[in-house]
Amino acid sequence: MKHASVLAPSILAANHAHLAAGARTVQDLGLKWVHLDIMDGHFVPNFSFGPQTVAALRKGSSLFFDTHLMLDEPHRYIEAFAKAGSNLISIHIEPSYDHAATLARIHALGCQNGIVLNPGTPAEAIEPFLAQVDLVLVMTVQPGFGGQPFRRDMLSKITQIDRWRQERALSFRLEVDGGIDLTTGHECRVAGADTFVAGTSFFGATDQPAVVKAVASW
Ligand code: DX5
Ligand code: ZN
């Protein structure tokens, strides 16, 4: 099956003194998803915000909170993000912990789950989990910072994961994150992606409604 395209702006690129205003901008444009980047200074060399901020955003927003945990020990924080109001929680494959149990725990807490892989991680690493997830997130930059250039060499990984999805009649969403704009996002759409995280290109756009319209037409 082919999912309709979803644009998930990352408020990492919004004004951090006014994150609620960033989320409001997304909602007022008629979008349904917002992407929340959580960084621990270990798994990635940067910090962002934590569950308390997510909970505060939840109070003023009905958006679908697509929460991307860039953490060395994500299993320790699943409950905190679920309680804070996340709708989907995605965890990286790279650190060692019980991935299957953590994905199951996300479901048990009433959230959708996702598995994420870095540019240097082969698609085969997440293959055993495909039947268990609602979303696969292919990083198209090394995570940690917004504003990096899109890694075109990730397109074949997207194609591979989409092929497995079709062969196995699975229905997880296939999301891309990093350096996504209307050009690179469309290349990912052609390769099989359906969910598009955009930070810099979205919050820096002069005509955001045009961006929303373009992605909806993919
Ligand atoms: C990267 C984050 C991304 C980031 C994308 O570490 O996971 O979600 O916000 O930002 P852009 O769209 O600027 O590459
Ligand atoms: Zn992200």
138-158 pLDDT, tens digit per residue, is 999 999 999 999 999 999 999
**Does any ligand 1 atom lie closer than 6 A to the CB of residue 92?**
no
As a whole number of angstroms, the longest Cα–Cα distance in the chain is 46
Task: Give the model's pLDDT for residue 144.
Answer: 97
Distance of CA 15 to the CA centre of its chain: 19
68 Cα–ligand 2 center, Å: 5
**Average predicted confidence (pLDDT) for the chain:** 98
Mutate to test the pocket of ligand 1, among 145, 175, 180 (most ligand atoms within 8 A of CB): 145
Q: Which atom of ligand 1 is nearest to the CA of 39?
A: 6
How much is the average pLDDT of 151-174? 98
How much is the average pLDDT of 19-28? 98
Task: Give the model's pLDDT for residue 51.
Answer: 98
Task: Give the model's pLDDT for residue 111.
Answer: 99
50 has pLDDT over 90: yes
Say whether 37 is catalytic. yes
Using DSSP bridges, classify how beta strands 88-92 and 112-117 pair: parallel, antiparallel or unpaired: parallel
Task: Give the model's pLDDT for residue 205.
Answer: 98
- Ligand number nearest CA of 203 is 1
Share of the chain above pLDDT 70, in %: 100
In single-letter form, the type of residue at position 83 comes to K
Interval 102-126: pLDDT, tens: 999 999 999 999 999 999 999 999 9
Output the six-digit token pair for 140: 């198209």
Task: Give the model's pLDDT for residue 1.
Answer: 67
Say whether 162 is catalytic. no
Report the distance separating Cα 104 and Cα 94, nearest Å. 18
Output the six-digit token pair for 10: 């990352």
How much is the average pLDDT of 187-192? 98
Choosing from 28, 37, 66, 162, the catalytic residue is 37
In single-letter form, the type of residue at position 197 comes to V
Task: Give the model's pLDDT for residue 143.
Answer: 98
How much is the average pLDDT of 183-198? 98
Angle at 130 (CA atoms; ends 127, 134), nearest 5 degrees: 145
How much is the average pLDDT of 38-47? 98
**Does any ligand 1 atom lie closer than 6 A to the CB of residue 36?**
no
166 Cα–ligand 2 center, Å: 25
Choosing from 66, 134, 177, 194, the catalytic residue is 177
